Amino acid sequence: MLKGVLKTIEKYNMLNKGDRIVAAVSGGPDSMALLHILYTLKDKYNLYIHGAHLNHMLRGEEADQDCEYVKEFCRKRSIPLSIGFEDVELMAKKQGISLEEAGRVARYKLFDDVAKEIKASKIALAHNMNDQAETVFMRIMRGTGLDGLGGIKPVRDGIFIRPLLFTLREDIEKYCREHDINPRTDSTNLEPLYLRNKLRLQLIPYIRENYSSNIESLISSMAELLREDSEFLEEHVKNIYNEICTQNEGKVSINIDSLKEQHSSVKKRIIRKAIENVKGNLNAIESKHIELLLSIIHNGMTGAAVELPGGIKGIISYKLLNIIKYTGETNIKFRYEINIPGLTRIDETGDIMEAQTEEYKLSLHNEKDYLKYFDYDKIKENLVLRTREEGDFITPAGMKGTKKLKEFFIDQKIPRDIRDRIPVVAWGKEIIWVVGYRVSENYKITKKTENVLRLEFKQCRGR
């Protein structure tokens, strides 16, 4: 088995001479075999090994005995050990997550903390080939794509390494017997209470017995092939992402026109990458969330928004899809006096209104949704760029009477949840332009117009 593990280490360049390694140790067969192998390779790679063990405080005396076993194993070999304690059940209740997820979060926090403390270059995890098969099956059952079918990565972020990923659990148990390692057994792993346990104890043994005796190896090989394809595609997407996206602190802006030119697979990957860069991970982000964002891109209405898990929001702003951190405020409120001539920036959204004055010419009538011309002689006071307010009204172009802005929104079938985010150009309570929708009849250019106000609503990327 050691030769196979060494082959994996070398193939994926998991270890370098002089590495400082945090070894995750639960006390079970996998982690104890991994710790023993790293200890065996200590001189070959000039390794510094530091164990990390978390007591989840779920199994009482049994968990305490696991901890003592790991401590004694490390003491005999002079391996430094850090032990953490976390009431995972309480953590799960407070955060509204499953016990499995809470345990995973607590473990990785401990590993990260220890790694920072000892200035580790690697964190070694004991996932094996059986874990890989179980993970792929779980993702299939929950719904997944190419990335999910690629399963667990042998190396992640250049830090997390999994030397046992291509080793079967039965070979690991045999290794433990051959080297007089007497690992602990987590009794909860023997009960089909969770999906992973049901797969491990029921489904996979059934497939192995009735359909394919080497199902774990087949799934592992498939995952490796798909992971290679996924990594190639991800590199391609990365180049496009850098071309059409602008990233600032807590925000990624995607050029919608450029995004629309891409293959649907690339579109989804770019959006997922943007979310990950803002959120820090893709936990709880599902395909339905990506489809929602694609739907508002297709509709193209400025102000349209989708709230995503983890405090993230996607908002359409002119020709951009902005992925931002969501503070919990339902509506964004702003009010700015428009600089005429000049630029007026909305700090809350990053949008910009550009204003210019010029003499009237027939050629000025080339208007667009976000570019409008007004009779400047009819505007007596300074204009304001803001969100809607109580009492707002408009005389929509082509009509004679006035309408409350609220009634206008209803007539235009503008969704209620985006109305408070649509910018308006106003003079007092009178709306001159509902940006992206309609201008006022009262300020349209006529044959008598001498001076024209040109307003263009846009977002300057990278400013």
Binding-site sequence positions for ATP: 26-31
Task: Outline where 81-127 has alpha helix (H).
Answer: 88-95, 99-118
Q: How many CA atoms lie within 13 A of 9 on its CB side?
A: 22
C-alpha 278/C-alpha 130 separation (Å) is 33
CA distances to 284, 311, 449 from 289, in Å: 9, 13, 48
Rounded (5°) CA angle 154-160-285: 85
Cβ neighbours of residue 157 under 8 Å, at least 6 residues apart?
none
Cβ neighbours of residue 161 under 8 Å, at least 6 residues apart?
9, 12, 14, 15, 122, 123, 124, 125, 154, 155
CB 255 within 8 A of CB 319: yes
Six token digits for residue 338 = 């428009």
| E runs forming strands in 18-100 | 20-24, 48-55, 81-85
C-alpha 350/C-alpha 316 separation (Å) is 12
CB 207 within 8 A of CB 215: yes
Binding-site residues sit at: 26-31
454: closest CA among 322, 343, 356? Answer: 356
CB 392 within 8 A of CB 424: yes
- In total, the chain counts a number of residues equal to 463
21: closest CA among 112, 120, 118? Answer: 120
In our burial notation (b when 16+ CB lie closer than 10 A, e otherwise), range 231-246 reads: eeeeeebeebbeebbb
Q: Which amino acid is at 46?
A: N
Six token digits for residue 126 = 């004991």
What is the three-class DSSP state of 26? coil
C-alpha 317/C-alpha 421 separation (Å) is 10
| Displacement of CA 120 from its chain's centroid (Å) | 26
Rounded (5°) CA angle 147-134-14: 65
Task: Outline where 280-346 has alpha helix (H).
Answer: 287-299
